[in-house]
Amino acid sequence: VSDTVQLRIPGPTPLPETVRKAGSRQMVNHRGPEFKELLGRVTASMKKAFRTDAEVLILTSSGTGALEAAVVNTLSPGDSVLSVNIGVFGDRFAKICRAYGADVTTLAVEHGKAADPSEVGAQLRVMAENGKPATAVLVTFNETSTGVTNPLQEIAREIHQQAPDALLLVDAVSGLGAIPLEMDAWGLDVVTTGSQKSWMVPPGLAMVALSPRAWAAVERSKMPRFYFDLTLHRDALAKGETPWTPAISVAFGLDEGLRLIEAEGYPAIFARHAACAAAARAGLRALGIRLLADPEVASNTVTSAWLPVGTEWPALTRACRARGLVLAGGQGPLTGKIFRVGHLGSVSTNDMVRCMEILEDAMTELGLQVEPGAGARAAAEAARSATNGATEREPVFATPA
Ligand SMILES: *Cc1c(COP(=O)(O)O)cnc(C)c1O
């Protein structure tokens, strides 16, 4: 895979040149002053990204490690947990809970749709009536397998009303940093993300933050834990360290990725992702491709689409790869049915236009009828109107201080 390949999968995402350089730096002592300084910078920057006053802990693991940390540090075997499941990653969060002995009730949502906050509330009432009120609720912020973003703020409000004592554990791995999320203002108890998504860094680090309520739950929690014991991570962070040897090269990259992110600013980053998503959706539709996600809740970081009729995924991915475009296939029950275009991290609307040009070429080779240039034109047009719209509107979020 050469540098000219367009890697359009929802993580790992392409690395900016300076992030790649940072990752090749010589090692330092992870218990020395250089790493301490870096960790201070990275965690301070992450607090702004999470929109929280809580400490953001840096784990050496993929994103799933942060999900496991969220579960094993706040829950006990036998706890009643509601899993709001809108796809493969919602499923994974629930599986972790079951593996550690929680009693999981699932609210399953049709693929391509978001969870309805009132249905979450209704399910919580049913659980309370059945004598097993929820100790925690698991919600995926952005479901990468279907390309859907949940209305997290509304879901959180409903949970706080219907089950005020329940903890809200959020898988924000593929959304945070690219789509607005407010940990403190929305009352989210545990929020997680991973370095290879919007942070433009290689895989290897995961980030997790706990609200004061969640830290109180840590004291009561009885699930077994060692590597992911967040109390150890919190105590180490107070000394400017991590409890175990961290992925130092990835941390060098994260430091640089966050520098780039802060230079661009979150309002601009959110608008860029919205414009790329609008371009992807318009371009695919113009190529005659049906989108999976409900338009109102379609993700700004990944677009999911049904495979064109008469096309198999292996043939489509081969034809795209031959032209330097790497797309993602379907996951779980959607394997062989859909494909996904990732547009998070280091991505521009021009990348989306190029992506549509290549896709058109590939589809033509596969014998599909496509209107020449239609996908790229529609993507460019959608990008233009999205960008104008964004500059006319007040930014949703003030630039973090
Ligand atoms: C990528 C991702 C994860 C974590 O996956 P890892 O492969 O463990 O990094 C978790 N949840 C969502 C929604 C994701 O997109």
**Can you give the length of the chain in residues?**
401
The confidence score (pLDDT) of residue 388 equals 75
pLDDT digits (tens, 9 = 90+) for 282-315: 999 999 999 999 999 999 999 999 999 889 999 9
H helices present in 265-348, as ranges:
266-286, 313-322
Find the 91 Cα to ligand 1 centroid distance in Å: 12
Q: Which residues of 232-258 are buried (b: 16+ CB within 10 A; e: fewer)?
A: bbbebbeebbbbeebbbbbbbbbbbbb
End-to-end CA distance of the chain: 39
Helix ranges (H only) for 292-373 are: 313-322, 349-365
Q: Looking at 43-102, which runs of residues are DSSP E strands?
A: 56-60, 80-85
d(Cα 165, Cα 286) in Å, to the nearest integer? Answer: 48
Instruction: Name the closest-CA residue to atom 4, ligand 1.
Output: 63
CB 317, CB 352: distance < 8 Å: no
User: Residue 174 C-alpha to ligand 1 middle, in angstroms?
Assistant: 7
Q: What is the pLDDT of residue 390?
A: 53
User: In this structure, which residue's CA is closest to atom 5 in ligand 1?
Assistant: 63
Nearest alpha carbon, ligand 1 atom 12: 173
Lookup: tokens for 196: 């290879």
How far does the centroid of ligand 1 lie from the alpha carbon of residue 64, in Å? 6
Residue 104 in this model has a pLDDT that exceeds 50: yes
The residue whose CA is least distant from atom 6 of ligand 1 is 63
What are the residues whose beta carbons fall under 8 Å from the beta carbon of 193, sequence distance 6 or more? Answer: 63, 66, 172, 173, 176, 177, 199, 206, 207, 208
Q: Is the pLDDT reported for residue 395 higher than 50?
A: no
Give residue 401 CA to ligand 1 midpoint distance, Å: 28
Distance in Å, CA 47 to ligand 1 centroid: 20
For the cut 90, the answer to whether the pLDDT of residue 235 exceeds it is yes
Check residue 397 and give its pLDDT: 40
What CA–CA distance (Å, rounded) separates 361 from 373? Answer: 10
Q: Which residues contact 393 (CB under 8 A, 6 or more apart)?
A: none
What is the whole-number distance in angstroms between the Cα of residue 319 and the centre of ligand 1? 27
- Helices 248-264 & 33-50 angle (0-180, nearest 10): 50
Please report the pLDDT score of residue 389 as a whole number: 57
- Choosing from 170, 173, 174, 198 the residue with most ligand 1 atoms within 8 A of its CB, the one to mutate for a pocket test is 173
Report the pLDDT averaged over residues 371-388: 95
- Residue 341 carries which side chain, given as an amino acid letter? V
Quote the CA–CA distance of 142 and 118 in Å, as a whole number.
19
- Indicate the range of 102-111, 340-349, 385-394 predicted with least confidence: 385-394
d(CA 199, ligand 1 centre) in Å: 13
Q: What is the mean pLDDT of the chain?
A: 95
CA–centroid distance, 304 to ligand 1, in Å, is 16
Upstream peptide bond of 295 is cis (omega within 30 degrees of 0):
no
The atom number, within ligand 1, closest to the CA of 140 reads 13
Per-residue pLDDT, averaged over 358-386, amounts to 96
Looking at residue 3, its pLDDT comes to 60
Name the pTM for this structure: 0.95
Helix and strand totals (H; E) in the chain: 13, 13
Mutate to test the pocket of ligand 1, among 13, 60, 62, 344 (most ligand atoms within 8 A of CB): 62
What is the 361 CA–ligand 1 centroid distance (Å)? Answer: 31
Mutate which of 144, 149, 150, 198 for ligand 1? The one with the most ligand atoms within 8 Å of its CB, which is 144
Alpha-carbon distance 79 to 76, whole Å? 6
Percent of the chain residues topping a pLDDT of 70: 96
CA of 219 to the centre of ligand 1 (A): 27
DSSP bridge pairs for 148:
143, 298
Give residues with Cβ within 8 angstroms of 227, minimum separation 6: 244
Please report the atom of ligand 1 found closest to the CA of residue 67: 10
Q: Are 46 and 258 in contact (CB under 8 A)?
A: yes
CA–centroid distance, 128 to ligand 1, in Å, is 31
Predicted confidence (pLDDT) per residue in 31-89, tens digit = 999 999 999 999 999 999 999 999 999 999 999 999 999 999 999 999 999 999 999 99
Instruction: Tell the burial category of 2 from Cβ atoms under 10 Å away from its Cβ (0-12, 13-18, 19+).
Output: exposed
Residues with CB under 6 A from ligand 1: 11, 62-64, 89, 140, 144, 171, 173-174, 194
Taking the alpha carbons of 231, 232, 235, 241 in that order, is the dihedral positive or negative? negative
Mutational pocket test of ligand 1: of 9, 64, 95, 192, the residue with most ligand atoms within 8 Å of the beta carbon: 64
